[in-house]
Structure 1
């Protein structure tokens, strides 16, 4: 590309002759359809933008008011442009390849290399490292989690049955971060190793719905355009609110083992099926510190029930089989009464409990997304979106928000987090004066560039080099080449880019789809394209989705689709893309490779539709 040639969107959004940031205006929204349409057809497809009568009124993806990255007034010349991809009849060998990269290209740094126990972002990998850490925050988080288990009545103590197989558990740690990526707290979870559960014995169905990102973006768009109040909350230890259909034996939690039944309160026996068809009858005990209000079956006089008559009398009695041997006399395990994080059906059990309670409060589930629930009562419209233990909502008035949170608090323990600012990876900035909401993923992108050592790279201003040609023939063919490429974090980098485009970066959609085609055996040219995308992210870190504003009050959806012809060099299949707008902003988008070749662009579009 010549020095005086600039990509179209670069000239529209970035003032090349000024060294100060420029402010995006409403007319700058022209980037939306035209920019994404160009992105979806980077491989040189036929473009027809005549469907949009006024592209400037349909744009959605704009630069934020404060742009941290501005190109220099005299940018360095770009590499020579690559000719467009070959059409039918062109020889594959004539297709030029992008510049090769050295194998010592920037590599992803592992957590051990980046973070040390002295770093605030450091996360212990196991309980022993957390307990040995000199800071008290991780130990406090572990104690808080264990106390919550006792408070909710998640398990009871039992003497280890002879020959019984138990499920193990472990500690999992994470940092709580805000919308800017700053650490605001520590989190410790007791997670069961559910992969040892037996299908058909311990669980049956496992599906549990979570809200889609498209639904959250539509919720934000609807709320901003309608002037609704956006809020968020967190269900404290959500899974622990749901019982499990079949009790499960589990080892005690590391660091909090109980070795004696002294101080334990006897409880009712529990029947538990065995893999051989027999039934365990277990004598249970409430552990020390347990909240008696969560156990209604406490006994003062305990006696084992008789053996079920359905069992063969010739077989050993389960009651006798449970008598501990001398070696097992002090061995205690727990039996789960409630769903625990890590159990295969834990999410489903919580989803069922939440759905039942929300229906009791008068909410109706959406047919398109079961995690979206709405309620219209006394003129107050309330919408909630649930992702596991996170709840996001919108109400007509602030009083309606207070009522909704108060009702949820009567059903569950809910942490009120106030105005919606950050949810499932999306940062949300709302300006009540202008009526505009900005959805971005900037903190994640900053961490991604730091992870792959691309923070100081030269920025690029297109998602992929113009006219780029990537084929399977560029993949490694020898064992030496494959061994060298195995050291390149292709999948890690591509996964980060994929997550960013799925959350709030539609301009990366085609690049992700194209580069994913070579994930099974990436070559040097494919890795160079990934680095180009990261350099493009460096230049467009501040890009965000914008909803609402003057002239964008309608929530009527608007959709566009397009497809090219034989865009894939190897299979001659076509690429197709779609986007949907609401309230002046993109709410859904995607790019895909069609399942079969077509004979024309028109046929490609018909196949996609």
Structure 2
């Protein structure tokens, strides 16, 4: 096209340049359903957190695991442990017997800082096909009370004891199996106990296959490790840092106990890592009932969420009451119940690193405080018991729980709470 106006000239480069766009002055707002979240642009080139090509992601089947050398080595180590312990004998299946299937359970074990510690590939029988009373009668594993763990840590801080931890390899193989079990071949490969002496003290706290050692003598700890290794194959994890999901750090002032990594994992798994933080986990005057609103669409997800939050109360006294409230509606949760649970998650976003402190300057003296909320439950009119027990200045035990029976007065509710507190103090006194 010929330019007819001599006063206007346009070069080729200028013709390709786009004019300046007019920027709108309209105020932009997030949709109402995103008000509780921080929103930001994500690059299209960003790599999803869940994608992994190096075998760090937990495989769901043997076929997926067999592609990675790390999982191949884990499966090989598991078979070698089974053979060393003489777990089975290869026999021909009798005509009157049936076999149980087997599967591999793959787990990635992480350190406190989030780095990978090891890969585990456990071979298990599908025992859910068995019937209780016919194929087996009972199951048992030594499990220490969580209060015992906190009590031992407080005493260790005061006495300046050494703390170490152990892990028993393939602990389930050391049980005596009285029943006769036939299992299919796996896919092919491509208790708290105290011991005293005249010069030292050592305590063992057992939780299934995890062992916590406390002693005033490193030599005694080493001798005990050698003795246990001769009886069982154990893994020495060194000084205590990460035990049952509890993170522990130590200084001259005392011992710190928290579940920060567990809290961040909860926020990541529930998709609330971007939620707006709030200052308290539950509204003061909130009263939930069984018929608050319409039923929640996914009851199983609600139950999983409450189970996760219950484990978090091992170190979080501030969550005891709110989690106790939302855990009452597991049978038929409603939308309002789920909203209350999500509020707890938003509170966790604000306080992921809350921790307990066990001071070295505390006294070995028990102190307890109890209270009750009379007829707090609208549905049943039952009261709620609450107590907190200290050893010196260190908090070691607490509870928020609905009372079993209805109290006819606030005084009766207070006496029931006091009775529950007395039982806890008496047990702790015996433990000391």
Question: Could you tell me the TM-score, scaled by structure 1's length?
Answer: 0.58
Aligned to 1:534: 345
Mapped pair 1:440 → 2:249:
no
> Which of 129, 143, 147 is the equivalent residue of 1:210?
143
1:8-407 alignment, distance < 5 Å: 115-118=50-53, 121-131=56-66, 133=67, 135-197=68-130, 199=132, 202-255=135-188, 371-407=191-227
Aligned to 1:519: 330
Determine the C-alpha separation between the residues in 2 that align with 1:195 and 1:522: 28
CA-based RMSD of the aligned residues comes to: 2.4
Mapped pair 1:473 → 2:285:
no
Aligned to 1:566: 375
Contact 1:172–1:189 (8 Å) recurs in 2: yes
Using a 3 Å threshold, how does the CA distance of structure 1 residues 191 and 583 change in structure 2: closer, same or farther? farther
Contact 1:173–1:189 (8 Å) recurs in 2: yes
Determine the C-alpha separation between the residues in 2 that align with 1:221 and 1:523: 41
- Give the structure, 1 or 2, with the largest relative contact order (CA under 8 Å, sep 6 or more): 1
Q: CA deviation at 1:186?
A: 0.5
Using a 3 Å threshold, how does the CA distance of structure 1 residues 256 and 458 change in structure 2: closer, same or farther? closer
Q: Secondary structure at the match of 2:177?
A: strand
- 1:261-296 alpha-carbon deviations (Å, 9 max, x no partner): xxxxxxxxxxxxxxxxxxxxxxxxxxxxxxxxxxxx
Aligned to 1:300: none
Determine the C-alpha separation between the residues in 1 that align with 2:56 and 2:90: 36
Determine the C-alpha separation between the residues in 1 that align with 2:265 and 2:155: 30
Q: Secondary structure at the match of 1:185?
A: strand
Determine the C-alpha separation between the residues in 2 that align with 1:416 and 1:486: 42
Q: CA deviation at 1:218?
A: 1.0
Q: CA deviation at 1:118?
A: 2.9
Determine the C-alpha separation between the residues in 1 that align with 2:36 and 2:329: 18
Aligned to 1:455: 273
Q: Which moved more, 1:411-420 or 1:159-168?
A: 159-168
Gaps of 5+ in 2: 1-31, 38-47, 420-432
Determine the C-alpha separation between the residues in 1 that align with 2:36 and 2:311: 22
Contact 2:36–2:276 (8 Å) recurs in 1: no
Mapped pair 1:576 → 2:394:
no
Aligned to 1:498: 310
Q: CA deviation at 1:377?
A: 1.2
Contact 2:200–2:217 (8 Å) recurs in 1: yes
Determine the C-alpha separation between the residues in 2 that align with 1:449 and 1:412: 38
Q: CA deviation at 1:225?
A: 0.8
Question: Could you tell me the TM-score, scaled by structure 2's length?
Answer: 0.81
Aligned to 1:328: none
- 1:162-199 alpha-carbon deviations (Å, 9 max, x no partner): 24211222101101111233322100101112233455
Q: CA deviation at 1:200?
A: 5.1
Determine the C-alpha separation between the residues in 1 that align with 2:54 and 2:305: 23
Mapped pair 1:424 → 2:235:
no
Gaps of 5+ in 1: 1-100, 107-112, 258-370, 477-481
Determine the C-alpha separation between the residues in 2 that align with 1:225 and 1:490: 41
Contact 2:299–2:330 (8 Å) recurs in 1: no
Contact 1:175–1:185 (8 Å) recurs in 2: yes
Contact 1:221–1:555 (8 Å) recurs in 2: no
Determine the C-alpha separation between the residues in 2 that align with 1:378 and 1:604: 48
Mapped pair 1:600 → 2:409:
yes
Q: CA deviation at 1:580?
A: 1.6
Q: CA deviation at 1:525?
A: 2.2
Q: CA deviation at 1:461?
A: 1.1
Aligned to 2:26: none
Mapped pair 1:408 → 2:228:
yes
Using a 3 Å threshold, how does the CA distance of structure 1 residues 247 and 493 change in structure 2: closer, same or farther? closer
Q: CA deviation at 1:147?
A: 1.4
Q: CA deviation at 1:114?
A: 6.6
- 1:507-556 alpha-carbon deviations (Å, 9 max, x no partner): 1010011111222222222222112111111111111011023x41x233
